[in-house]
Amino acid sequence: PTQPTAPTAVVIGGGIGGVAAALRLRQQGTKVTLVEQAPEFGEVGAGLQLAPNATRLLAEWGLLDRVLSVAVAPKNLVFRDAVTGRELLRKDVQGEFAERYGAPYIVAHRADLHTILVDAARGAGVELVNGVTVARAENLPTGARAVTTDGRAFDADAVIAADGLRSAVRAQMSDDEPIPSGYVAFRGALPISDVKHASDMEDVVVWLGPRCHLVQYPLRRGEMFNTVAVFQSPAFLRGEEVWGTEDELEEAYKDCVPEVRKALENLWRVRSWPMFDRLPLANWVDGNVALLGDAAHPMLQYLAQGACQALEDAHVLGGLVREHVLPADDGERREAWALALREYNEIREPRTSRVQTTARVWGESWHMDEPVAVLIRNMLFEAADARGAFPYTDWLYGQDGLNHPAQPVATSHPTHGHLLAGV
Ligand code: FAD
């Protein structure tokens, strides 16, 4: 009599990953409670790139039109050398690209995407609870429990922890720590009327410089403009505790063309984001408790895939719950969830590990400062288009990334074969 008749889940964390997971589980017939520590749901007011592997899912979930109505579908991804200004690669991401991957490459305001997901989750019947900080998750004879810092318990068949880079639940499964990259991001998303140095209003532009890069793109139907500056902090290299401050910003771009230096005026100066990742973790599941999104696989942002991978997690998890949990009787339900979560781990881990490791190498290739290395990098970028860049992007944006573990990589070093992934 204590068995619930509908499957139940508690999701910890109301970021993009947690809200997407809650929505998908709810759409598959699960009764979902989502708990978030912040007093209100929200996201940083900056931009987010969403590649076709993510927009294809938004389409399947019935949300792409709403996202598109507030987003921008850029014409090209453009890479330029930040020191010479030379254009290295202009990849058309409409036409053949969008057709090949079955969905568009878009850039959206984070808060817009997040609001659309929260509204959809609420509309589907997810119970959203704010002001709840989870201390740990436990397996129970009947399912799993999230225990809050003030001693409350949220019980369900399963607990999905989407509690981000510094996940409390991950700490129960692994003693690893976030790894500082020594690089820091400054961001700025401004109304277009306040932007002094906007260029290429139809493209995503990435300027590659020595130990730094700069990304620019329009947001919100072109009403806003987003700038992200990422550079290596000398204070971090000196071993100082405080690093990546505003003082280091201008200096980091001193060798770049005026167009790049002027673009720094479009950044917010009040806050910066030191960049961390972790090494891939093979096991993200303990019985009826699983990690999702950055809690499971935080990555450096160079492939612009962290949120995209969290959406993939949510999609795969929802599919496995439909396959294993929904047909199960009440008495078999706990085991059915455990099976779904194990398969989720097996399917997702090889792919997200590959994205994590590739993102690191991809970032390094952007930040070269030795003249020979820069020359070779530039030659590779310039050659990529003539060769057709699809071989470099198929593994990431292609159709089969979701349901099968990634294919073994045919080089002795698993990341080098994908240096140009994302071009
Ligand atoms: P988070 O967004 O970190 O959400 C975790 C949530 O859990 C938060 O709301 C937090 O308050 C809550 N929480 C934490 N602990 C607890 C607790 N104990 N109890 C209750 N609640 C808790 N990705 C892309 O796909 N495209 C991009 O272009 C892109 N650009 C990026 C640029 C930068 C500069 C950075 C830093 C990242 C970028 N990413 C990008 C990555 C992306 O932002 C993240 O991967 C994604 O937001 C992770 O979502 P999440 O829901 O897993 O985690």
The pLDDT tens digits of the residues spanning 56-94 come to: 999 999 999 999 999 999 999 999 999 999 999 999 999
Place 250 in a pLDDT band, splitting at 50, 70 and 90.
very high
Residue 44 pLDDT: 83
Residue 253 known to be catalytic: no
Q: Residues near 407 by Cβ (< 8 Å), separated by ≥ 6?
A: 395
Q: Is the CB of 12 under 6 A from ligand 1?
A: yes
Pocket test for ligand 1, best of 36, 72, 134, 315 (most atoms within 8 A of CB): 36
Q: What span, in angstroms and rounded, lies between the C-alpha atoms of 175 and 170?
A: 8
pLDDT-wise least confident of 168-182, 229-243, 290-304, 379-393: 379-393
Residue 399 pLDDT: 67
> What six digits make up the tokens of 230?
């990422």
Q: Residues near 211 by Cβ (< 8 Å), separated by ≥ 6?
A: 231, 232, 252, 367, 369
| CA of residue 332 to ligand 1 center, whole Å | 34
What percentage of the chain has pLDDT greater than the value 90? 84
Q: Is the CB of 310 under 6 A from ligand 1?
A: yes
Residue 415 pLDDT: 37
- Mean of pLDDT values over 193-199: 79
Q: What span, in angstroms and rounded, lies between the C-alpha atoms of 156 and 30?
A: 10
Q: Is the CB of 378 under 6 A from ligand 1?
A: no
pLDDT digit string, tens, across residues 403-419: 544 443 333 333 333 43
Residue 360 pLDDT: 96
For the chain, give the mean pLDDT.
91
- The pairing of strands 31-36 and 8-12 is parallel
| CA of residue 17 to ligand 1 center, whole Å | 7
Q: Which residues of 26-39 are buried (b: 16+ CB within 10 A; e: fewer)?
A: bbbebbbbbbbbee
Q: Which residue has the higher pLDDT, 284 or 3?
A: 284
Residue 411 pLDDT: 34
Q: Which residue has the tokens 């969403």?
A: 50
Q: What is the 3-state secondary structure (H, E, C) of 264-287?
A: HHHCCCCCCEEEEECCCCCCCEEC
| CA of residue 16 to ligand 1 center, whole Å | 7
Q: What span, in angstroms and rounded, lies between the C-alpha atoms of 221 and 46?
A: 14
The residue ranges of DSSP E strands in 178-223, in sequence order, are 179-191, 203-209, 212-219
Residue 385 pLDDT: 72
Residue 206 pLDDT: 96
Q: 3-class SS at 128?
A: strand
Q: Return the DSSP state at 104.
A: -
Q: Which residue has the higher pLDDT, 111 or 391?
A: 111
pLDDT at 248 over 60: yes
Residue 200 pLDDT: 79
Alpha-carbon distances of 117 from 23, 24, 111, 167, 189, rounded to whole Å: 8, 10, 10, 21, 21
Q: Is the CB of 53 under 6 A from ligand 1?
A: no
What percentage of the chain has pLDDT greater than the value 70? 91
pLDDT digit string, tens, across residues 13-52: 999 999 999 999 999 999 999 999 999 998 888 999 999 9
Ligand 1 atom 45: residue of nearest CA = 306
Q: Which of the following is catalytic: 101, 183, 217, 344?
A: 217
The enclosing H or E element of 89 equals: strand 87-92
